[in-house]
Amino acid sequence: MAHSTLRSRLGCWLALMGMALWLTACRPLTIPMPTAAVPGTAPALAPGPVAGAAGLDDPLYPTLGNGGYDVLHYDIDLTVDVAGNTLNGATTISARATQALSAFNLDFSGLTIGQVTVNGAPARYRRQASELTITPVQPVQADSLLTVTVAYQGQPQPMRDPGVPFLPLGWQRFGDDIAVVSEPSGAMTWFPSNNHPLDKATFTMRLTVPKPYQAAANGVLSDTQDNGSSTTYVWQMTDPMATYLATVHIGRYEVITAAGPDGVVRRDYFPLGTPASVKASFAPIPQMMQFMRQRIGPYPFAAYGVALLPVPTGWALETQTLSTFGAGAGGAAWDEGEVMHELAHEWFGNSVSPATWQDVWLNEGFATYFQWLWQEQNEGSAAFNATVQEVYASMLAQDVGSPLPQQPPDLFTDATYQRGAWTLHALRLTVGDVVFFKILRAYYQRFAGSHASTADFIATAVEVSGQPAVETLLRDWLTNPKLPAPPAPSAQTPVIAL
Ligand code: TRP
Ligand code: ZN
């Protein structure tokens, strides 16, 4: 079934690989009230410079991200030896200090650091595991702009993350190609960053690869330079992006470009020799974009397409503007639901990003529900109802718990995908279609280009519906360890009269 393919594949891997032990203490199921979350908010009285925090206190990943500054832009300049899978280059970070800083941290693992400069002057640095602490010669003033350059080289080391036991994360080889898949923590394997979705920034990537390789990345290809034996590809991501969504694909591709709706650039990167049957999986994308546009709003970014790996995978990832998919196993097409799922993430996950990793159902529950809605539109309400009932029965049989993960291994599970999607369905049954889609649109518009928490979603649902009881309903679906009963449908209005 469309709705369960990815989950059941992941389930197999989980069973095969076993669960990694995770040592953070479990936290109680509470939903904090909405706050304007700013990384490292400055205290009211300006004290002397102090070291920025080494983490943002994410409930699942307390050391991801750093306090004391807000990144505006990453300029990542890498020359890649594809045969050896080594790189040489530099990342320049433009940031604004949110407090006076004697020192600050970046998240960066592996790779050998050559030099670090702050505002052009060499700075002292020290690295412990993936925490890179930089001490500038002069303390950084609160509110000042900051330019940090880290030069580095070596072979990126993919990392294990207990949230994704089914594959290593970060920069890695797939067959003869190189690609990056990072959610949630893997970005630190290839560039230094404030590695948390609370701090989104724009990106420029300059990727120099030997001929005949090509390099694709997020956003729009703004320049291609022929250096004789190598080519430099310059990619611009001019809308904010979370570090976990940054990707690079290096290989030999058939690039298919087209004009998309609303001036969106469409470009797909298919490894040479990709069978037509596999490429055809992505043919419905323009109709899917139209479907999202009608229900939520125009596509959020300047470009959209897919980059395929040369090897089959059971998973796909919503890397911003350039979703990553595996090759079809034995020429098999991708399931339409999964193509829809990754596209829906561009609105929910990429434009509106989770404020913490505990809010991941705002990504996975939404993307899964849009898979079901796509089925509802194309196959009718009987097929849709069969899907939601079947998922409900399977959740009941498995005793699926709260969609708010308490530890990393809970992140990408039936609880966040299926119960997350059913949480939206329960809301829809309660308020009816017209109010339901009004809520989703208001939530999207409020938090587009930024991030949102579970409390933000609940507050929006209560406000737009004018029904305080919606809060009780959502809290039950989101925090009750026991699966709630499906609510009785309200007087239903027909799907989408827009
Ligand atoms: N977000 C992916 C999805 O569409 C699942 C996923 C999470 C993933 N982390 C990953 C896939 C890392 C590949 C690599 O559901
Ligand atoms: Zn997803």
Cα 107 from chain centre:
17
- Strand duo 353-354 + 451-452: pairing: parallel
Question: Does 223 score more than 80 pLDDT?
Answer: yes
Is the bond preceding 212 in cis, omega lying within 30 degrees of 0? yes
Residue 23: its pLDDT value, please?
30
Rounded Cα–Cα distance for residues 372 and 387 (Å): 7
Alpha carbon of 419 to ligand 2 centroid (Å): 13
Residue 388 CB neighbour total at 10 angstroms: 22
Ligand number nearest CA of 186 is 1
- Atom 9 in ligand 1: residue holding the nearest Cα: 183
Question: Does 39 score more than 90 pLDDT?
Answer: no
Q: What is the pLDDT of residues 92-148, one digit of tens each?
A: 999 999 999 999 999 999 999 999 999 999 999 999 999 999 999 999 999 999 999
For a pocket test of ligand 1, which of 14, 164, 353 has the largest count of ligand atoms closer than 8 A to its C-beta? 164
Angle between helices 361-379 and 336-347 (to 10 degrees): 130
Residue 488: its pLDDT value, please?
87
Residue 40: its pLDDT value, please?
56
Residue 31: its pLDDT value, please?
55
For the segment 41-69, the average pLDDT, to the nearest whole number, is 88
Ligand number nearest CA of 163 is 1
Rounded Cα–Cα distance for residues 206 and 126 (Å): 27
Residue 490: its pLDDT value, please?
77
- Atom 7 in ligand 1: residue holding the nearest Cα: 183
Of residues 41 and 172, more confidently modeled: 172
Residue 129: its pLDDT value, please?
96
Question: Does 239 score more than 90 pLDDT?
Answer: yes
Alpha carbon of 341 to ligand 1 centroid (Å): 11
Q: For the chain, give the mean pLDDT.
A: 91
Question: Does 19 score more than 80 pLDDT?
Answer: no
Determine the atom of ligand 1 nearest the C-alpha atom of 411: 7
Helix (H) or strand (E) holding 124: strand 124-128
For the segment 146-172, the average pLDDT, to the nearest whole number, is 98
Question: Does 46 score more than 90 pLDDT?
Answer: no
Name the CA radius of gyration of the chain, rounded: 22
DSSP string, 202-230: EEEEEEEEETT-EEEESSEEEEEEE-SSE
- pLDDT confidence tier of residue 391, bands split at 50, 70 and 90: very high
Name the amino acid, one letter, at 280.
Answer: A
Determine the atom of ligand 1 nearest the C-alpha atom of 164: 9
> What's 193's DSSP letter?
B
Is the bond preceding 184 in cis, omega lying within 30 degrees of 0? yes
Name the amino acid, one letter, at 475.
Answer: R
Name the amino acid, one letter, at 89.
Answer: G
Q: What is the pLDDT of residues 438-484, one digit of tens each?
A: 999 999 999 999 999 999 999 999 999 999 999 999 999 999 999 99
Of residues 359 and 2, more confidently modeled: 359
Q: What percent of the chain has pLDDT over 90?
A: 87
Question: Does 436 score more than 50 pLDDT?
Answer: yes
What does each C-alpha distance from 480 to 227, 327, 477 come to in angstroms? Answer: 59, 39, 6
Determine the atom of ligand 1 nearest the C-alpha atom of 318: 4
- Atom 5 in ligand 1: residue holding the nearest Cα: 317
Determine the atom of ligand 1 nearest the C-alpha atom of 184: 9
Instruction: Name the segment(s) of the chain with CATH classification 1.10.390.10.
Output: 2-27+353-479
Residue 43: its pLDDT value, please?
56
Q: Which residues line ligand 1 (CB under 6 A)?
A: 6, 164, 167, 181, 183, 315-318, 341-342, 364, 412
| Cβ atoms of residues 191 and 152 within 8 Å | no
Alpha carbon of 258 to ligand 1 centroid (Å): 27
CA dihedral 304, 441, 455, 435 (to 10 degrees): -150
For a pocket test of ligand 1, which of 247, 348, 353, 412 has the largest count of ligand atoms closer than 8 A to its C-beta? 412
Instruction: Name the segment(s) of the chain with CATH classification 2.60.40.1730.
Output: 50-344
Of residues 38 and 155, more confidently modeled: 155
| Cβ atoms of residues 183 and 169 within 8 Å | yes
State the pTM of this model: 0.91
Rounded Cα–Cα distance for residues 376 and 384 (Å): 5
Question: Does 181 score more than 80 pLDDT?
Answer: yes
Alpha carbon of 125 to ligand 1 centroid (Å): 33
Q: Could you tell me how many residues make up the chain?
A: 498
Determine the atom of ligand 1 nearest the C-alpha atom of 181: 14
| Cβ atoms of residues 174 and 44 within 8 Å | no
Q: What is the pLDDT of residues 336-354, one digit of tens each?
A: 999 999 999 999 999 999 9
Ligand number nearest CA of 348 is 2
Architecture field, domain 2-27+353-479: Orthogonal Bundle (1.10)
Architecture field, domain 50-344: Sandwich (2.60)
Q: Which residues pair with 259 in a beta bridge?
A: 265
Six-digit token pair at 12?
A: 């197999």
Q: 3-17, 35-49, 196-210, 367-381: which has the minimum mean pLDDT?
A: 3-17
Six-digit token pair at 224?
A: 């291609």
- Atom 3 in ligand 1: residue holding the nearest Cα: 317
